[in-house]
Structure 1
Amino acid sequence: MNGGAVRVFAVCGGAATPALAGLRGHAEGTAVRCLRVGALAAVVQDVPAAQFTAEALRTHLSDRATLERYARAHHEVVAAVAAAGPAVPVPLTTLYADEARARAAIARESARFLTVLDRVRGRAEWGVKVFAAGPVPGPDGMPGAPPRSGRAYLDRLRDRQRGREAHRDAVRAAVDRIDATLRATSAAARRLRTHGTDLTGEAQPQVLNAAYLVDAARCDELTRAVAALRTDPEFGPLVRIETTGPWAPYSFADEAEETDEAEETDRGGVDDDDA
């Protein structure tokens, strides 16, 4: 394609033959194809360079409808590649000015790609999101008759604060137990940054956003573990668990054996205001 750029979706082993026929990729581009680079194969698409400049990408990605369309197209291709064998998804914005630059970049990263491919072979990613459930204790609107004295009012405030702290600690303990239980079924796990209610669309805060890399033979074990956690009476009043998957290993597309971002999100996003 004259004046074309190369968009990369995923990298797999050079001997892999993912089923790419019929995959549309981005509507502006040509047919999705394999680009062989040594022991690797990148699944790419030629796209018009003028429509995929840095400025154009910023414009596209700032528009929610366009971003969702790009994300769906990207995931469709990645899923097809992963269905054929181990694959390393690359970020949505991975774009090169031409094929030569794409080849050079993949060759430079070949050792990393081979390491990750070996690590994710025969495994899939499962996402687990946990939300606080039930009413969240708060300092206002306390039930009961008005206190008869300033001291009684302060005592009630202290009791309410203790209740909030106990609730927060119980939610944190539930999150830690859920995470520990699911890590026991997984080859690797990562706590990711939690999302606010403006992104989740949920009324209650998200208190855990985690990804688990699971051997194909243990996927049923993970789903049974989640089912048992959901029916545990200890968790019912505290949290709600949602799962997604199996997915291509988006959260494990680097060399790191395991990371845990919980410290960045206050142990899964639980704080005094959330829980």
Structure 2
Amino acid sequence: MMERSGEASETNAVYVYAVCRADEEPSLGGLTGVSGDEPVRSLSIGSLTAIVQTVRAADFTDEVWQERLTDENELELYARAHHEVVSAVAARFPTVPLPLATLYNGDERAGLALANESPRFRTALKRIAHHAEWGVKVYAPVAQSAARRAPEERPAEPGDRARPAPGAGRAYLERKRNLQSQREQRQADSLRVADAVDADVSRIAAASRRLRPHGSGAAGGQRVQVLNATYLVAEHRAAELALLAAGLRERTGAEIEVSGPWVPYSFVGEV
């Protein structure tokens, strides 16, 4: 996503990574950002601080950026560089990350535009201070092994086709209905587990978001993801989250993955 304030200058633009509430000058040495030509630096916007870098405007025109979006490898390099700067600052101060490729035409334009959004920044910073984002994923149990499935029918002999066993058709349909009922029951049970996990984790979280579950291919193998959620958790409750996840695994028998702590991208709102 690219945001601009007016047209970028012919030579340089100001790339904004994040806005933070810093009680001291951020130490940004060693960070190269998306461009190694100029240092990553701070820009005062009243009581808040923006983390910015001067970049070549020609590297971020709409045409260049749209082309970059089609190159996964290059786009990943920019995303990693952006995240590295945000993470370094967030490790020390409450930080609101801005979208990738947020650009303004000079420090003055950047300062004015960001200052206009300062109430929203302050609200977000207050919300996420001393909190981190944690991801929780729940997977449905793998389907029963072939050894535990209902035995398959004996292949029909050529002569059998003329002499079907009495009630064979009804028995086949009944087996099909039973299998369908079992699948539906497993799905319902998995969704109940997902809801229970979400409810328990939400009790220790300041905020939560349920995301669209990934498909089985993205989940890996034959696993089916039934919960893909992210939670804003206070730093002092991180150990409690780990213990809760372990207890939920034991109690439900579900496969539960916990990842984090992350910069709380999901809980800073649209800025």
Alignment TM class, shorter chain as reference: 0.7 to 0.9
Alignment of 1:117 with 2:136, yes or no, is no
- Report the count of equivalent residues: 249
Structure 2 partner of 1:58: 66
State the SS of the aligned residue for 1:46: strand
1:10 and 1:186 map into 2 onto residues whose CA distance is 24
Shift in Å, 1:197: 4.2
Map 1:218-229 → 2, pairs under 5 A: 218-229=237-248
Structure 2 partner of 1:100: 108
Amino acid at match of 1:83: A
Max Rg structure: 2
Amino acid at match of 1:242: E
Structure 2 partner of 1:169: 188
Structure 2 partner of 1:180: 199
Shift in Å, 1:106: 0.9
1:91 and 1:143 map into 2 onto residues whose CA distance is 55
Structure 2 partner of 1:259: none
TM-aligned CA distance change 1:198 to 1:167, over 3 Å: closer
1:26 and 1:63 map into 2 onto residues whose CA distance is 16
Amino acid at match of 1:36: S
Structure 2, unmatched stretches of 5+, are 1-8, 155-163
Structure 2 partner of 1:268: none
Structure 1 partner of 2:159: none
Structure 1 partner of 2:267: 252
TM-score by length of 2: 0.83
Deviations 1:196-239 (A, max 9, x none): 3454555423222211111111111011111212233x32xxx3
From 246, 250, 256, the equivalent of 1:231 is 250
Amino acid at match of 1:124: A
TM-score by length of 1: 0.82
Given that 1:126 and 1:211 are in contact with CA atoms closer than 8 Å, whether structure 2 keeps it comes out as: yes
1:195 and 1:65 map into 2 onto residues whose CA distance is 22
Moved more, 202-211 or 246-255: 202-211
TM-aligned CA distance change 1:142 to 1:113, over 3 Å: same
Map 1:186-201 → 2, pairs under 5 A: 186-201=205-220
From 230, 242, 246, the equivalent of 2:257 is 242
2:33 and 2:91 map into 1 onto residues whose CA distance is 16
1:176 and 1:16 map into 2 onto residues whose CA distance is 43
Shift in Å, 1:51: 1.1
Amino acid at match of 1:252: F
1:182 and 1:29 map into 2 onto residues whose CA distance is 44
Shift in Å, 1:77: 0.8
State the SS of the aligned residue for 1:180: helix
Moved more, 53-62 or 106-115: 53-62
